[in-house]
Amino acid sequence: MTTPSGTPGEAIPRPLDHYLDTASAEPLHPAAREVLLAALERGYADPRRLHRQARDARLLLDNARAVVAECLGARPDEVGFAASGTDAVHRGLLGLVRAQRGTARTGVVHSAVEHSSVLHAVGWLDSPLHASVPVDASARVDPAAVDAAARSDGVAVVALQAANQEVGTVQPVDALDLPERIPLFVDAAAAAGRIELPSRWDALAASARKFGGPAGVGVLVVRREVRWSTPFPGDDGLDQLGGDANVPGALATAAALQAVLSEREETAARQHELTDRIRRAVGSLPDTEVVGDPVDRLPHLVTFSCLYVAGDELVTALDRRGYGVASGSACTASTLEPSHVLAAMGALTHGNVRVSLRRDSTVAEVDGFCAAVADAVAEFRSGAGL
């Protein structure tokens, strides 16, 4: 194998790597890894068939659904596994709208800071009745404004995230007072396994890789009494979304979710202390703003913006120092578009960095990161003559 240096077998020396981008993907939880390896030996057959191997795969899949249902306060027959978190969002949200076909209700009310998967689904619907509700400087929506928008003619669904994936602010989902006929879709990808989820929702989506499960598995939960219809070709149900079931992935997802929930209180307390440490250190730098709610937020995530520094250059500089972080809207950063979340908040949209801690991140690692940020920002500003 040839390394990027061009010399076969020669490793490029670099600082110790510190992965601090778990808001994009958390490393596989040990419990999920153990279950995944075991399930690969047993869960290979198609659970829709009738032979012994298929019945064994069906048993594993049903077990995964039961565990996830218990973790999320749902019934096993309300749980489905999708091809990704994005796929779960699209199927959940679009399925709620599709179930309204034959009526005049085609619009979606959503906050201005929803994940790009929600915004893309709304754009794909191409309805003139959609409404984007603004947020305050912390990226929090006013529930009264959402309620008012939901009462407009033609609204089919309200979509509101449990917590923001970019700045960590928790949304007041349980404070909504929606009309009974309007279903509520909650994107819980950033929040699942990290905080207590809202109690009031009709459909909910999550992404396994964001809480320590395997990549390529999404979770979709739809309440049994809610009108929902698959928006894409295929069977009209949650049992096997998209056709083929990823039985090992589903079982590992269930194991990861169960494990992180059992550890959540301890992990969240430790991560809150560490992110508070980052907020204080980075916030003390000149012309630097820490964004998002300082208290009611995800425990593992901090986003800040530095004036006179480009976000992608700062991420690259931190990577050279051994720290892997994100910049901009995590799912759209490659487009070089400004963050729609920061823009909606009225915050600086360039020079921003999102750091999200691992379960085992330490004080030493966090202090090293803060020192690296200060060094990189000073270097850039000195080079610019500032």
70 & 186 share domain: yes
Among candidate residues 203, 224, 259, the one where a domain is terminated: 259
Domain range for 323: 18-27+264-383
Q: Which residue among the candidates 71, 306, 331, 370 is catalytic per the annotation?
A: 331
**11 domain residue, yes or no:** no
What 3-state class would DSSP assign to 91?
Answer: helix
**5 domain residue, yes or no:** no
Q: What is the largest CA-CA distance in the chain?
A: 72
**12 domain residue, yes or no:** no
Among candidate residues 259, 275, 309, the one where a domain is terminated: 259
pLDDT given at position 332: 44
pLDDT given at position 44: 76
For the chain, list the strands marked E by DSSP.
18-19, 79-82, 107-111, 131-133, 155-159, 184-187, 203-207, 218-222, 288-291, 301-306, 323-324, 352-356
204 & 229 share domain: yes
- Domain of 245: which CATH number? 3.40.640.10
**144 domain residue, yes or no:** yes
64 & 160 share domain: yes
**118 domain residue, yes or no:** yes
169 & 40 share domain: yes
22 & 51 share domain: no
Among candidate residues 237, 259, 281, the one where a domain is terminated: 259
- Domain of 359: which CATH number? 3.90.1150.10
129 & 151 share domain: yes
282 & 251 share domain: no
**255 domain residue, yes or no:** yes
The model's pTM: 0.92
CA distance 115 to 95: 18
pLDDT given at position 243: 62
CA distance 241 to 248: 15
User: How many domains does the chain fold into?
Assistant: 2
219 & 327 share domain: no
158 & 273 share domain: no
For residue 319, what is the enclosing H or E element?
helix 311-320
276 & 364 share domain: yes
CA distance 375 to 386: 14
For 40-190, list the strands marked E by DSSP.
79-82, 107-111, 131-133, 155-159, 184-187
**3 domain residue, yes or no:** no
User: Hey, what are 6's tokens?
Assistant: 């061009």
- Integer-rounded Cα Rg, in Å, for the chain is 22
Residues in the chain: 386
Angle between helices 247-283 and 363-383 (to 10 degrees): 60
279 & 131 share domain: no
pLDDT given at position 310: 87
Pairing of strands 323-324, 301-306: unpaired
Q: Would residue 71 show up in a list of annotated catalytic residues for this protein?
A: no
**9 domain residue, yes or no:** no
Residues 64/214, Cβ–Cβ less than 8 Å: no
pLDDT given at position 1: 40
pLDDT given at position 236: 67
The contacts of residue 274 (CB under 8 Å, 6+ apart) are: 357, 361, 362, 363, 366
- Burial of residue 48 (CB within 10 Å: 0-12, 13-18, 19+) is middle
229 & 295 share domain: no
CA distance 26 to 165: 13
Task: Output the tens digit of pLDDT for each of the chain's 386 residues.
Answer: 444 444 444 454 455 589 999 999 999 999 999 999 999 988 777 778 888 887 888 899 999 999 999 999 999 999 999 999 999 999 999 999 999 988 889 999 999 999 999 999 999 998 999 999 999 999 999 999 999 999 999 999 999 999 999 999 999 999 999 999 999 999 999 999 999 999 999 999 999 999 999 999 999 999 999 999 998 887 667 777 666 789 999 999 999 999 999 999 999 999 999 999 999 999 999 999 999 999 999 999 999 999 888 888 999 999 999 999 998 644 444 445 788 999 999 998 888 999 999 999 999 999 999 999 999 999 988 876 66
